[in-house]
Chains A and B, each alone.
Chain A
Amino acid sequence: MADNTTAPKSAQIAARPLSPFMLGPYYKFQLTSVLSFAHRISGLALSFGTVLIAIWVLSAANGAWSYAQFAYVARSIPGEVLLFAWSWALLYHLCNGIRHLVWDSGFAFEIKNVYLGGYLVVALSLVLTAAVWAVAFAI
C-alpha cells in the first residue's frame, strides 16, 4: 500500500477551523436568523418560566408561610435578575410574535421590510421592558 503524501496530517486536520469556530471570523450573522433563534429560545425559556408562575400562584393560595418562602427567593438578587430577564424575554417574544402574525397575513416579506421589522422588534422590546418597570415602580 503506497503512502498517500497528499493526505492531510492529523495535526493539520486539528488546526482546521471547524464549525463552531467559523462563527466569529468566517461567518457573518444576519439579524433575521439571530432573531429567529431568539424567538424560539425565548419561547422555550418562557415555557420553563410557566413552572415558576404556577409556583407563585400556588404559594399564594397555600397561605402566608408558603408565600413568604416564595417571596424570599423571588426578591433575592438572582430572583430579581431572573424576573427582569423573564419580562424582556416575554416582551421580545410578544413583539416578534406580532411580526410573525404580520407575515402570516402575507405582509412585509420584502428583505427591506423584514430587516425594518427586526430592528423595530428589538427596539420596541427594550422600550416596553423599560416602560413596564418604570411605570410599575412609579405607581
Chain B
Amino acid sequence: MSLRSPLSEARGLGSAKDGVGHWWMQRLSALALIPLALWFVFSIARYHVADYPTMLAWIHAPLVAIVLVLFFLAAFYHSALGVQVVIEDYVGNEAVKIGGIALVKLAHFALAAASIYAVLKIAFGAP
C-alpha cells in the first residue's frame, strides 16, 4: 500500500518537487570533475608562474581549450548545485531562500559564460 496520493504518484517527483534530478546531476557532474579537476589543479600549479605568451599558447592549444570549457561547465554547474543545498539547509526564511538560490544560480551562470567566453576568445584568436 502506498501512502502517496494518485497525483504525486503521477508526477513522481516526491516532496522535493524536482524528483532525483538535482541529486543525480550533482553525482554526474562530480564524476566528470574527478579527471577534469585533477587536470585543472595540476595545470594551475604548473602554469601559474608562466609568463603571458606561455599562458596564452597553453590555452590556445585546441585540446586544452576544449578541456577547459568542459571543466568550467562541470565545475560551475556542480558549484551551483552545491551552494543551493547549503542555502536550502541553513536559510529558514522562504523569501530569502528563494532569492538566495536565484542569485546563486544567476551568478554561477554569468561566471561560467564569462569564463568560457574568455577561453574561446583566446582559442579562436591569433596564436
Contact = CB atoms under 8 A, between A and B. Distances in A.
A115 interface: no
A91 B122 CA distance: 28
B33 A94 contact: yes
Contact of A83 (B33, B48, B82, B108): B48
A101 B24 CA distance: 11
Contact of A87 (B31, B33, B41, B86): B41
Nearest to A58: B118
Interface string B63-95: 000001000000110010011001000000000
Given A50-B76, A57-B115, 8 more contacts: A50-B75, A53-B75, A54-B111, A60-B56, A67-B52, A87-B41, A136-B42, A136-B45
Interface of A: 40, 43-44, 46-47, 50-51, 53-54, 57-58, 60-62, 64, 67-68, 71, 74-75, 83, 87, 90-91, 94, 97-98, 100-101, 104, 132-133, 135-136, 139
